[in-house]
Structure 1
Amino acid sequence: MMSQNYTTIDNQNDSGSVPSAVPDPGHLTVKFQDSTLQTFPPSEKQGKIACGALPPSDLVQMNPNEVVADILFTMTLPTLQALLGSFSVFLFVLVDHVHVVAANRGCFGVHHPIKHHKPRFTAGPWKQAHATFYEGGSGTFGGACGYHDVVQEGYGLETVALSNALFNNGLSCGACYEIKCVDEPQWCKPGKPILTVTATNNCPPNWNQASDNGGWCNPPREHFDIAKPVFLNIAEYKAGIIPVTYRRVPCQKKGGMRFTITGNPYFNEVLVWNVGGAGDIISVQVKGSDKLKWTTMSRMWGQRWVTGAKMVGESLTFRVEASDRRHLTSWHVAPKTWQFGQTFEGKNFR
Structure 2
Amino acid sequence: MAALHSFRFHPSIFLCLVASFCFSRTCFGSKAKHSNLTTFGTRWSWAGATWYGSPDGAGSDGGACGYGNAVSQPPFSSMVTGIGPSLYKSGKECGACYKIKCTKRMHPSCSGKPVRVIITDFCPGGPCATDSAHFDLGGTAFGAMAKAGEEVELRDAGVLKIRYARVACDYSGRTIAFHVDPGSNSNYFAAVIEYEEGDGDLAGVSLKEASMGPEEWRSMQQSWGAVWKLDAGSEMQPPFSIRLTSQYSRETIVAKNVIPENWKPGSTYRSLVNYL
Q: Do Structure 1 and Structure 2 share a fold, with TM-score over 0.5?
A: yes
Q: Match for 1:290: what amino acid? A: S
**Which residue, out of 77, 80, 83, partners 1:162?**
83
The alignment partner of 2:87 has SS state of helix
The alignment partner of 1:168 has SS state of helix
Q: Match for 2:159: what amino acid? A: I
Structure 1 residue aligned with 2:93: 172
Structure 2 residue aligned with 1:277: 198
Report the Cα offset of residue 342 of structure 1: 1.7
**Which residue, out of 65, 72, 80, partners 1:151?**
72
CA RMSD of aligned residues (A): 2.2
TM-score (norm 2): 0.76
Structure 2 residue aligned with 1:119: 33
* 1:47-96 deviation digits (Å, cap 9, x = unpaired): xxxxxxxxxxxxxxxxxxxxxxxxxxxxxxxxxxxxxxxxxxxxxxxxxx
**Which residue, out of 157, 176, 179, partners 1:260?**
179
Distance in 1, matches of 2:136 and 2:81, equals: 6
Equivalent residue runs for 1:207-222 within 5 Å: 215-219=126-130, 221-222=132-133
Q: Is the 8 A contact 1:268 1:311 kept in 2?
A: no
Q: Is the 8 A contact 1:141 1:200 kept in 2?
A: no
Distance in 1, matches of 2:44 and 2:59, equals: 30
**Which residue, out of 156, 159, 171, partners 1:238?**
156
TM-score (norm 1): 0.60
Structure with bigger helix share is: 2
Report the Cα offset of residue 238 of structure 1: 1.2
Q: Is the 8 A contact 2:190 2:227 kept in 1?
A: yes
Distance in 1, matches of 2:197 and 2:231, equals: 28
Q: Comparing both chains, which one has the higher relative contact order based on Cα–Cα distances under 8 Å and sequence gaps of 6 or more?
A: 2
Structure 1 residue aligned with 2:15: none
Distance in 2, matches of 1:194 and 1:228, equals: 16
* 1:121-141 deviation digits (Å, cap 9, x = unpaired): 224211111111111555825
Equivalent residue runs for 1:42-53 within 5 Å: none
Q: Given the alignment of the two structures, is residue 194 of structure 1 paired with residue 114 of structure 2, yes or no?
A: yes
Q: Is the 8 A contact 2:86 2:132 kept in 1?
A: yes
Which has more radius of gyration? 1
Distance in 2, matches of 1:341 and 1:312, equals: 18
In the alignment of these two chains, the number of paired residues is 228
Report the Cα offset of residue 193 of structure 1: 1.6
Equivalent residue runs for 1:301-320 within 5 Å: 301-309=224-232, 310=234, 312-320=236-244
Structure 2 residue aligned with 1:227: 138
The alignment partner of 1:331 has SS state of strand
Consecutive unaligned residues in structure 1, runs of 5 or more: 1-112, 206-214
Q: Is the 8 A contact 2:58 2:139 kept in 1?
A: no
The alignment partner of 1:184 has SS state of coil
Distance in 1, matches of 2:74 and 2:265, equals: 18
Q: Given the alignment of the two structures, is residue 348 of structure 1 paired with residue 274 of structure 2, yes or no?
A: yes
Q: Is the 8 A contact 2:58 2:80 kept in 1?
A: no
